[in-house]
Amino acid sequence: MTNPNDASQPDHPPSAAGERQVIARIGEMLRRQWPGAFAGAIPFGDDLAPLTPHDTGPLAWTTDAIMDGVDFDSTVHDWSAIGRKALAVNLSDCAAMAAQPVAALVNLVITRTLTSENVIGIMRGAIQTAAEFDCPIVGGDFNSWSAPTVISIAVAAEPWPEMPLVRRDGMRPGDILCVTGPLGGSILGRHLAFQPRVLEARRLMESLRPAAMIDISDGLALDLARMAEASDCAAALEPAMFDAVIHEDARRLSATTGCPARDHALNDGEDFELIVAVRPDAFAAAPRELVATLLQIGTAEAGSGVGWRKPGGGVERIKPRGWEHTLGE
């Protein structure tokens, strides 16, 4: 929508008819994909969307935004892949707490040079991903401006039946630390095409009941430091174990950047794998086929921070680096 009192609006803003036509197309896409979601008393397009949880626990909410020039490059990346990522980063937050997604709201703030087909491409990617995880998109908002495109999505989630949500503050000294996949070099393409570990988190809950989890969005070192700080303990990485989880993309990237592949695996971010802390007895009793899906990287220790375990004992602290948004002074 445009504000007639806003002097920053262009002389010829996008027509209301164009906006209505795009929203109508999006509404039809959503109704085709999830006909049951819009069969209640409030139809799609009104000011609120009804939400009926599965009565497994309280609703939990997450929201994340991705921005052109920061999280994707619209001159290079396909709009459908961008729409997929916009939803997937929120589903990764659901995975981090072992929650099942219930519904999503999509807020599109597009640059005025985008076409209606670009917008439909964004929604197509988001809808396909939402359908894969049984997370109907039930509404949202649509705006345009002269700045780069921003896509903000909110997802409502709830616990899986008879399973509590997993927090990041449950790690204790002695816990085994694992990740759900190799790390580093995601900028070569995986940051758009990653698979949110929603179903993997459910399987872990069924047999392992992890003590703590967090997803790797800003880098292993930084996100593990957050989990350690929340849990009031330390994380000791085993160098040989960690080197075994370095993704081939990190090694490829290292050849061009000159930065060690280990550093890429530690700090690059946007792997969207899970860091999982598991009690030793639960790890020992878990089915071997489930344990085989996890990659061990170290253990939790008394103390604080993140570091490398030294051959002679003790831990060499490292300064966590990764992605953090900057602010002015």
pLDDT score, position 29:
93
Task: Give the E-state strand segments of 99-182 in sequence order.
Answer: 99-111, 137-145, 150-159, 176-179
Could you give the CA distance from residue 102 to residue 138 in angstroms, rounded to a whole number?
A: 10
Instruction: Give DSSP secondary structure letters for 196-258.
Output: --HHHHHHHHHHT--SEEEE-SS-HHHHHHHHHHHHTSEEEE-HHHHHTTB-HHHHHHHHHH-
* pLDDT reported for residue 327: 55
Taking a C-beta distance cutoff of 8 angstroms, is the pair 171, 131 a contact?
Answer: no
Between helix 79-96 and helix 116-132 the angle, nearest 10°, is 30
**Which domains, ranges and CATH numbers included, belong to the chain?**
18-35+53-159 (3.30.1330.10), 176-317 (3.90.650.10)
pLDDT attached to residue 108: 97
Measured CA distances, 47 to 6, 23, 73 (Å): 23, 14, 32
**Whole-number Å distance between alpha carbons of 95 and 217:** 12
Q: What is the pTM of this model?
A: 0.90
Amino acid 324: pLDDT: 56
The secondary element (H helix, E strand) that includes residue 308 is strand 305-309
Instruction: Give the span between the Cα atoms of 121 and 126, in whole angstroms.
Output: 9
Instruction: Give me the pLDDT at residue 5, please.
Output: 38
Q: Rounded to the nearest 5°, which phi and psi values hold at 308? A: -95, 135
Separation between Cα atoms, residue 86 and residue 67, nearest integer Å: 9
Q: Check residue 6 and give its pLDDT.
A: 40
Residue 322 has a pLDDT of 63
- Using alpha carbons, select from 274, 181, 177 the residue that is nearest to residue 231: 177
- Report mean pLDDT in 10-residue bins for the chain, 329 residues: 39 56 92 82 78 79 97 97 98 97 96 95 98 95 96 96 95 98 97 97 96 97 96 97 98 97 96 98 94 96 95 85 59
